[in-house]
A and B are shown apart, each in its own frame.
Chain A
Amino acid sequence: MNERKQEPLLEAVHLKKYFSLAKKKKLHAVDDVNFTIYRGETLGLVGESGCGKSTVGNVVMRLLPHTDGELLYDGKNIFDATKEEKKEYCRKMQIIFQDPYSSLNPRKTIRAILREAYEIHANDCFKGEDIDKLVERLCESVSIPLNLLDHYPHELDGGMRQVVGIARALSLEPEFIVCDEPVSSLDVSIQARIINLLIDMKKERNLSYLFISHDLSVVRHISDRIAVMYLGQIVEMAETDELFKNTMHPYSIALLSAVPRINLDQKVSRIVLKGDVPSPVDPKPGCRFAPRCWMACEECFDGQTPPLREVSPGHFVACKFAETSAEKAKSAETSSLDKI
């Protein structure tokens, strides 16, 4: 894995996305986000609803215009791409959406849905090839039964629809795929199948994923590295095992302890955060997490948001108290019950 890491595929540099609201207010959906995805790697992006993780995915796919920053694909900023280059990026970068019910056109058959991408690129990379053959080969690779090709999306169950969504994303043999909560609307037994398919496809085709999800156990299962987002910013980023073993940001610690788990031998104590996620509209200065943080001191509330700093090799945390948080968490957990 370490060898592969030498080659960055996608780099986000100071990526920002603000949404303008009435009365000159600005919603800071993505605020100065930096990350790198290496070739053949899966970067997991976790966070709660409204933290901006899907917006990152949409900006990366250029489904939303960015506000500021750069996005380097193979070292080139894709925001300044020419029209031809853009079409090429469309081929190399694909997205799988969350809801397999609304992401497939209900008026097209599965065959038509899967043909579409090939037809658009029929004059460049698929010149002279029989599109029907390509579609059939694609279906075989993700095990869609060929007799489903002439059916409409509503005739398929949720799991199969998501497989069609994945097949569509794979059709142009991309290098990079954004998976935006691809399994969160599926039942457990179906979810496992989709996760396995995504892992298989990645190995087979040396894909890179940006895997967006709110489910920590799913992200842990599929990712090589994980970035935790809170209110438009990445607060912690590390290799998967490192992040779960040495969780440092107070928010990540709370998030991890909040997941209900099957643990028969010991009752787990947890940190229960007070209140809700604050509004991302014109956020207050200082650390974004400070109002809900159990470690916050006065200086956390003013000045700059703490920058991501490398605490140990490859482990980035945006908190002043990163080194001591784990110990403090232990004492905080015991007193969590009376906090609510």
Chain B
Amino acid sequence: MEQLLEIKDLRVQFKTERATSNALNGVTLSIGKGESLGLVGETGAGKTTTALSILRLLPDAARILDGSITFDGQNVFDMTGAGNDLSSRQYKKLLEKQGISETEMRKIRGNKIAMIFQNPLTALNPVFTVGEQIAMVLRVHRGMGKREAMEYAGKLLEQVGIASYRVKDYPGQFSGGMRQRVGIAAGIACNPELLIADEPTTALDVTIQAQILELMKQLQTQHKTSLLMITHNLGIISELCQKVAVMYGGQIIEYGTVDAVFRDPLHPYTRGLLGALPNLEGDRERLVAIPGKIADPQNLPNGCYFNPRCEHKCAVCESKQPEMIKISDDHFVACFQAKGGV
């Protein structure tokens, strides 16, 4: 499959006066054209940071220490070996030099890569009508006139199941589920090649979540958009995605097709996650909780980041970081114990 997005060995650090937080510690990931990838992980695993890096929307406190991102043949940035001893001015210069310019980047954001945010209440501007907000995307990227853009915004709203006359309403006049649809309408306005959805249904109720998921499924089959779905809900991944990447401590620890990973999870953390979920079917067995705390990005352990919580750990896990090993063409795992399957 032709690759659309490639992330290579990405390292991102957040630095404040009080503490340094290693959010991403070598993320390597690729998404093919028309493919949907699920990114799972718990709080602080680095899911959102990965998404923001792709769009170059990281906050000022963040530093890309290493790694590169290529999107559709274009170099979003290549900060290989940048390190953390640059001044902020040098850093910004380097970022512009090593990748496409900010002006070019703006042409990509909202056009070729669109993002749907977690909280539909804060993602929309309360003082503009939803029509104006969708039209804004079209006027910037498609060069449409005001009236034409508004008309098209109405059509987009209908595509996501909202009556087109509501373009003149403000976000406050919509319910949570409808606001998220408006967010999706704005996201798909320019037929993006990659849609990043950052926990799009976490703030919504199950029946509304089902509506949004059906909608995203439809859009994906209709427009062949690639999808990066960020969520902590393994059920959503199983329904919507072909591939899945499990994150822990700012690294991808298991990657493969949904079928391979969920059927035969090899990393102890993935197995733990699946075991910790209560089921809707079958016997009600006692849940297997993962002991200990989620890895703290401000104070990561030596060796494998999961080793303090792992029940299979041995001496090498505490001293060395495991590399991604290939189990089969559609299954990769970063664990010393996983060779040949545990």
Contact = CB atoms under 8 A, between A and B. Distances in A.
A217 interface: yes
Interface string B261-287: 011000000001111111111001011
A270 B236 CA distance: 13
B183 interface: no
B276 A191 contact: yes
A148 interface: no
A149 interface: no
A127 B272 CA distance: 45
B239 A48 contact: no
Interface stretch (B117-125, B132-140, B192-200, B289-297): B289-297
B177 A276 contact: yes
A299 B178 CA distance: 29
A64 interface: no
Interface string A240-266: 100010000000001111111111100
A217 B206 contact: no
A189 B41 CA distance: 10
A240 B281 CA distance: 11
A37 B277 CA distance: 26
Contacts of A255: 206-207
With most chain A CB atoms within 10 A of its CB, the pick from B259, B279, B289, B293 is B289
A193 B206 contact: no
B238 A189 contact: no
Contacts of A270: 210, 214
A307 B226 CA distance: 48
A221 interface: yes
B130 to A, nearest CB: 16
Interface string A275-302: 0110000000000000000000000000
A189 B273 contact: yes
Interface residues of A, number: 43
Given A220-B284, A340-B211, A189 B258 contact: no
B72 interface: no
B44 to A, nearest CB: 9
A49 interface: yes
A18 to B, nearest CB: 22
Nearest to B209: A258
Interface string A196-228: 100100000000000000101110110000000
Interface of A: 48-49, 157, 159, 187-193, 195-196, 199, 214, 216-218, 220-221, 240, 244, 254-264, 267-268, 270, 272-273, 276-277, 336-337, 340
Given A192-B277, A262-B274, 14 more contacts: A187-B42, A189-B272, A192-B290, A195-B278, A196-B286, A259-B280, A260-B209, A260-B236, A260-B240, A261-B280, A262-B234, A262-B235, A264-B262, A273-B207
20 contacts: A189-B273, A190-B294, A192-B288, A192-B290, A195-B278, A196-B289, A216-B280, A221-B279, A221-B284, A221-B287, A258-B206, A260-B238, A260-B239, A261-B280, A262-B262, A263-B238, A264-B262, A264-B263, A336-B214, A340-B161
Interface of B: 42-43, 161, 175, 177-178, 205-211, 213-215, 218, 232-236, 238-240, 258-259, 262-263, 272-281, 284, 286-290, 293-294
